[in-house]
Amino acid sequence: MSSGIVVKDVTHTFPAAGGAAVTAIEEVSLEIAEHEFVAIVGPSGCGKSTLLNIVSGLITPSAGSVTVGAEPVRGVPRDVGYMPARDSLLPWRSCLDNVGLPLEIRGDVSRAARRERAGELLGAVGLGGFEKAFPSALSHGMRQRVAVARTFATQPSVLLMDEPFSALDAQTKITIQDLFLSIWEAQHQTVVLITHDVMEAVALADRVVVFSRRPGRIKSIHDIDLPRPRSVQHLIFEEPRFQQHLRDIWRDLDV
């Protein structure tokens, strides 16, 4: 099944308390190919998270349509993995059971298979040995690693990520971005990454979409021609083309 995403003429208006409605995004059209990694950047309040919530089916847009794979989005699509800004781990569940949660809810694999898969994923994010630990015993970065593992648990073909690394300190962020990249580069899901961090967008994505101020419209799209596999650390410190992309995108950003 193809897992491209087509956003067509999407406008969304929130009713506001004072009576004046707020238009978050206006006439946004975007095609994302299967296996493509697209990052969306823009000034804060530009409606980029609204777009992600529309693609994930949490919000029904005021106008326009969204297709994920062959299906128009109505409700939350099944084949999508979502990674929120905060890890949202359930504090009463061990790491293993947190990673297994989406599988458990879906209910199509046995308990043994679920635990095995969750264990493998914890290993893949460098948390082997922490299966039984509760989130309260983990650092911020470790919790976010668990969230990364959880996102991959259902083997989704589409990943939607809403500023997933924004709450981390600078060093932890780079480590986890590299970790995420290494898993993604082996699997190549279609990704939409919302971020306010231009560096993150350029380092991870194939294309960076720049949103204007509210109401959010697409201002420009930048192809990032950096070779893969990538290393975020390497890009930041030693790659002149990376710096060039950064400058180009900064110029378009109304900050």
Partner 1 sequence: MSDQLVVSGAPSASPAGTPPPGRRTRLRRAAGGGKAMVVYRVLGMVAFLGAWELAVRAELVNPLFLPAPSKVAGTLVDLVRTGDLWPHVSETLQATFAGFVAGVVVGALLGFVIGLSPALSGFTSPFITMMNSMPRIALAPLFVLWVGIDIKSRILLVFSLVVFIVLTNTIAGTQSVDRDHLTLARLFSASRRQVIVKIAMPSVLPWILAAMRLSFAYALAGAVVGEMFLGQRGLGYLIVAGSGVFNISQVFAALVVTVIVAFLFDNLMAVAEKRILRWRA
Site for partner 1, rule CB under 8 A: 56, 58, 75-76, 78, 80, 82, 84, 86, 88, 90-93, 101-102, 104-106, 134-137
Distance CA 125, CA 224 (A): 26
Cβ proximity to partner 1, 159 vs 209, nearer residue: 159
3-class SS at 106? helix
- C-beta of 150 vs 222, nearer to partner 1: 150
Short-list 1, 163, 23, 188, CA closest to 77? 1
Nearer to partner 1, 29 or 60 (CB): 60
Q: How far is the CB of 201 from partner 1 (least distance, A)?
A: 22
Centroid of chain to Cα 170: 18
Q: Within 10 Å of residue 200's Cβ, how many Cβ atoms?
A: 22
Pairing of strands 22-32, 158-162: unpaired
Give the nearer residue to partner 1 in terms of CB position, either 33 or 58. Answer: 58
Report d(CA 176, CA 180) in Å as an integer.
6
| Nearest distance from C-beta of residue 153 to partner 1, angstroms | 10
DSSP 216: B
Nearer to partner 1, 129 or 229 (CB): 129
- Minimum CB separation of residue 10 from partner 1 in Å reads 19
Shortest separation between residue 92's beta carbon and partner 1, angstroms: 5
Q: For partner 1, give the closer residue by CB, 104 or 197.
A: 104
- Cα separation, 56 vs 5, in Å, equals 11
3-state secondary structure of 14: strand
User: What's the closest the beta carbon of residue 47 comes to partner 1, in angstroms?
Assistant: 18
> Cα–Cα–Cα angle for 94, 75, 9, nearest 5°?
125
Least Å distance, CB 198 to partner 1, is: 26
